[in-house]
């Protein structure tokens, strides 16, 4: 426990008293009648005389009380109204109370908590807030936000700038020391559970007087449409049964630590689809957050968190939220590795190993356990050139079949179509966490099957696996896992490629998506096409048809699958699409002719030291980050015209530093390879991208390094012969990041193997 010095305690008491009892600046300690006074305050009506002590001795209490009594009595004889307080750090003892009782007409003994509650009743707030929901913490099976804290397993927290890790205790210690932090994570990783733990640790510190600052935990989804920080804080106060004016006063005085969850959950109404207008809309939507952060006193700590993919770049995020680099550190919560996932599942009573393809995010694992799906999920087949895609297809089919067997009216194919259409509808919104009302679900079911929903069928739809209670309405549903959503939507994309003609309702829906499929979705498409024996020529014909019809987002999904099974031969132009990552180091781009016009590209990777593929051009694009170049002066003007770029990344210079270091050559190649898979924006690379930037000697041993990484589970292979795709393993992420950050000291078998190469 921290012990405050008498001087530190006196300073805190004076700060509170200035806010409570003072009407002008500069009031505080004075020397009166040759005696030091800890605080004298005048509010225009009353003098308030204050003494503060950290001691529990009776004699000290009696001395301070008499000194205070004498000055209060003097002020009263001079015609002023006056009162006195003796403030103790801890609850006053019986002896202290007895010693002060004789002066009770002029002086009152109070604990620091009592004094502070005059400014803000923090203990009442904490008692009420601790029992309420924290962000997206929710039991989607039990329909309750009361998820036990014992479910929490500490995740890996990494500093974005250098991939170094930080423990929960280290993060909390930084917050105690007035740190300012941004935390991002994918949906379902456990970000809100982490913030809840931070809150309860700070609550304990506050209750034990280890800190004078009270943690305030704000769910931004409860403050949609608010424009001013005071308005936001007052609403939060009313929701937690404390006086709004006092909470604002405590915040203004620096007695509040802010924990702000869900910057991605503020209103997105009003989006027009135009990327530049969307950016302006995000800035205006988050103006209240920016003002709140700017107006928070410097001696208060701030944690603000949300989904990393919400903003197009770190630069845009920092500008929109007002969290400048150098003031706010940016940390990322990583998915569970195998050890963390096993620990989490063991607490749920499951002790078997998980296959590589199953997402390790706690929300999804908890859902599989609670729905009693885990045993069947781990047994699905993973065959073919795209095993992850095949596994997801098999999982959806297995679950749909099981649900169909338990219902008399809905067959397996109807459930699959319903999932696919609902997932596609989610991909049409700005956020994949779109909620669906029962009426919307009824309409989707009718469009998917041609049949109206019966009461029994409606009950089945509401309890379908993969769907959870929406945070904005307990009657609505959302997808609880992004990979599940993408896999479901991908089945419709694959069906469309197989049968590109016709008037099925789902075709128009997939043509109206605004968000591209992720890697799981693309692998599901590829696995489906492989199973059906669909040739590359047929896929390209479908791609050309969608481009000619102006269906650019769908066309890009088809293109993303085609490059893994064949090669486009025609000149392509994608207009107005969102691209998460574009890696021009992959060799298939060298022979392609593509224009990207008016596109939003979150991360663009260019080959270092050589020209980018000359027939790939960017016109009027917004690009969040460019890796491989230092500035706009390094970009070929013939390939980039009228583009706006937020940031140029040093990822390649870091790789160059690694390659020129004194580490063994095999270790250098290992670190650079892991960086490309785990530390850069994407997580899937063709071998050509892994070799890019290596000199002749490094290229010679790179295949052996890759082989060792595959053998040790750090790389997962998929794709057809000649187009092997290497992806990172969810279960090895923690080890991979540790190797990247400390290759000379970390101990793991793959490092020992690579030390002896070259």
CA-CA-CA-CA torsion sign (234, 310, 138, 415): positive
> Please, what is the Cα angle at 681 between 677 and 685, to 5 degrees?
40
> Between these two residues, 236 and 675, which has the higher pLDDT value?
236
Class of domain 122-333 as given by CATH: alpha beta
- What pLDDT band is residue 267 in, cutting at 50, 70 and 90? low
Q: Which of 2-16, 85-99, 127-141 has the highest mean pLDDT?
A: 85-99
Candidates 180, 186, 330, 194; CA nearest to 257 is 180
Give the whole-angstrom CA distance, residue 474 versus residue 371: 19
For the CA atoms of 654, 656, 658, 659, the dihedral, rounded to the nearest 10 degrees, stands at 170
Class of domain 658-755 as given by CATH: mainly alpha
CA distances from 71 to 16, 49, 357 (A): 21, 8, 75
Q: How many residues does this entry show for the chain? A: 758
Does the fold of domain 658-755 match that of domain 122-333? no
CA distances from 171 to 153, 154, 592 (A): 15, 12, 46
Domain boundaries, given as residue ranges, for the chain: 6-117, 122-333, 338-377, 380-570, 572-649, 658-755
Residues with Cβ within 8 Å of 68's Cβ and at least 6 positions away in sequence, in order, are 49, 50, 51, 84, 85, 86, 103, 106, 107
Fold annotation for 6-117: Restriction Endonuclease (3.40.91)
CA distances from 535 to 304, 325, 686 (A): 48, 49, 21
Residues with Cβ within 8 Å of 371's Cβ and at least 6 positions away in sequence, in order, are 141, 465
**DSSP string over 172-234:** HHHHHTT-EEEEEE-TTSSHHHHHHHHHHHHHHHHHTTS-SPEEEEEEGGGGTT---HHHHHH
Give the whole-angstrom CA distance, residue 419 versus residue 521: 14
Residue 18 is inside which H or E element, if any? helix 6-21
Interval 519-537 mean pLDDT: 93
Lowest mean pLDDT among 369-373, 488-492, 753-757: 369-373
Q: What is the pTM of this model?
A: 0.80
Candidates 730, 729, 727; CA nearest to 188 is 730
Q: Which of 47-51, 475-479, 512-516, 633-637 has the highest mean pLDDT?
A: 47-51
Q: What is the pLDDT of residues 176-232, one digit of tens each?
A: 999 999 999 988 888 999 999 999 999 999 988 888 899 999 999 899 888 899 999
Interval 683-694 mean pLDDT: 79
> Between these two residues, 589 and 281, which has the higher pLDDT value?
589
Q: What is the pLDDT of residues 31-57, one digit of tens each?
A: 998 899 999 999 999 999 999 999 999
Facing residues of 159 across strands? 331
pLDDT of residue 1: 41
491 in Cβ contact with 420 (< 8 Å): yes
């Amino acid at each position: 426990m921290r012990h405050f010095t008498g001087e530190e305690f006196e300073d805190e008491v004076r700060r509170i008293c200035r806010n409570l009892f003072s009407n002008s600046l500069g009031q505080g300690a004075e020397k009166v009648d040759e005696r030091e006074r800890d605080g004298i305050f005048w509010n225009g009506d009353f003098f308030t005389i204050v003494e503060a002590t950290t001691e529990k001795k009776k004699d000290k209490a009696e001395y301070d009380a008499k000194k205070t009594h004498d000055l209060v009595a003097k002020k009263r004889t001079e015609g002023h109204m006056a009162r006195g307080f003796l403030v103790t750090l801890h609850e006053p003892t019986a002896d202290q109370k007895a010693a002060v009782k004789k002066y009770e007409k002029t002086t009152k003994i109070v604990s620091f908590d009592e004094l502070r509650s005059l400014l803000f009743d923090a203990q009442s707030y904490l008692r009420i807030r601790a029992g309420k929901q924290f962000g997206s913490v929710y039991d989607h099976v039990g329909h309750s936000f009361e998820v036990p804290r014992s479910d929490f397993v500490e995740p890996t927290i990494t500093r974005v700038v250098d991939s170094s890790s930080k423990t929960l205790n280290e993060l909390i210690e930084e917050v105690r020391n007035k740190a300012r932090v941004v935390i991002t994570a994918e949906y379902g990783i456990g970000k809100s559970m982490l913030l809840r733990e931070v809150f309860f640790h700070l609550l304990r510190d506050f209750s034990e007087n280890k800190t004078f600052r009270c943690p305030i935990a704000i769910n931004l989804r409860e403050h949609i449409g608010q424009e001013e920080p005071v308005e936001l804080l007052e609403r939060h106060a009313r929701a937690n049964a404390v006086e709004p004016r006092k909470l604002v006063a405590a915040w203004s005085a620096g007695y509040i630590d802010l924990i702000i969850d869900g910057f991605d959950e503020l209103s997105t109404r009003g989006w027009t689809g135009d990327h530049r207008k969307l950016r302006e809309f995000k800035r205006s939507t988050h103006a209240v957050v920016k003002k709140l952060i700017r107006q928070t006193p410097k001696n208060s700590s701030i944690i603000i968190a949300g989904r990393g993919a919400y903003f197009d770049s770190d630069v845009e995020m920092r500008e929109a939220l007002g969290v400048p680099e150098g003031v706010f550190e940016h940390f990322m919560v990583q998915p569970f590795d195998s050890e963390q996932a096993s620990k989490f599942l063991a607490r749920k009573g499951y002790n078997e190993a998980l296959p590589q393809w199953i997402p390790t995010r706690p929300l999804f694992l908890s859902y599989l356990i609670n729905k009693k799906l885990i045993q069947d999920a781990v047994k699905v087949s993973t065959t073919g050139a795209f095993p992850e895609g095949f596994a997801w297809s098999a999982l959806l089919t297995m679950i749909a079949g099981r649900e169909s067997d338990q219902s008399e009216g809905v067959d397996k194919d109807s459930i699959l179509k319903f999932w696919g259409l609902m997932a596609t509808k989610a991909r049409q919104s700005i956020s994949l966490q779109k909620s669906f009302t029962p009426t919307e679900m009824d309409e989707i079911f009718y469009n998917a099957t041609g049949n109206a929903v019966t009461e029994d069928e409606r009950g089945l739809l509401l309890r379908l696996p993969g769907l959870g209670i929406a945070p904005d309405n307990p009657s609505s549903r959302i997808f609880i896992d992004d990979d599940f959503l993408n896999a479901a939507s991908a089945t419709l994309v694959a069906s469309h490629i197989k049968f590109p003609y016709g008037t099925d309702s789902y075709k128009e829906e997939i043509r109206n998506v605004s968000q591209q499929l992720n890697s799981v979705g693309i692998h599901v498409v590829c696995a489906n096409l492989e199973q059906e024996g669909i040739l590359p020529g047929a896929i390209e014909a479908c791609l050309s048809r969608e481009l000619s019809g102006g269906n650019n987002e769908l066309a890009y999904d088809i293109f993303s699958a085609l490059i893994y099974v064949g090669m486009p031969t025609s000149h392509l132009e994608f207009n107005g699409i969102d691209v998460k990552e574009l890696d021009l180091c992959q060799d298939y781009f060298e022979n392609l002719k593509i224009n990207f016009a008016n596109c939003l590209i979150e991360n663009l990777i260019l080959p270092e030291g050589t020209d980018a593929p000359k027939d790939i051009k960017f016109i009027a694009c917004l690009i969040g980050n460019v890796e491989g170049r230092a500035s706009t002066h390094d970009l070929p003007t013939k390939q980039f015209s009228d583009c706006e770029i937020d940031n140029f990344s040093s990822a390649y210079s870091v790789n160059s530093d690694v390659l020129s270091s004194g580490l063994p050559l095999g270790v250098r190649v290992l670190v650079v390879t892991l960086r490309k898979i785990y530390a850069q924006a994407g997580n899937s690379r063709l071998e050509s991208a892994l070799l890019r930037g290596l000199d002749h000697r490094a290229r010679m041993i790179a295949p052996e390094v890759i082989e060792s990484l595959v053998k040790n589970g750090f790389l997962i292979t998929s794709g057809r012969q000649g187009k092997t795709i290497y992806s990172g393993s969810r279960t090895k992420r923690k080890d991979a990041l540790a190797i990247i950050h400390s290759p000379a000291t970390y101990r793991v078998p793959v490092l020992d193997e690579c030390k002896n190469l070259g």
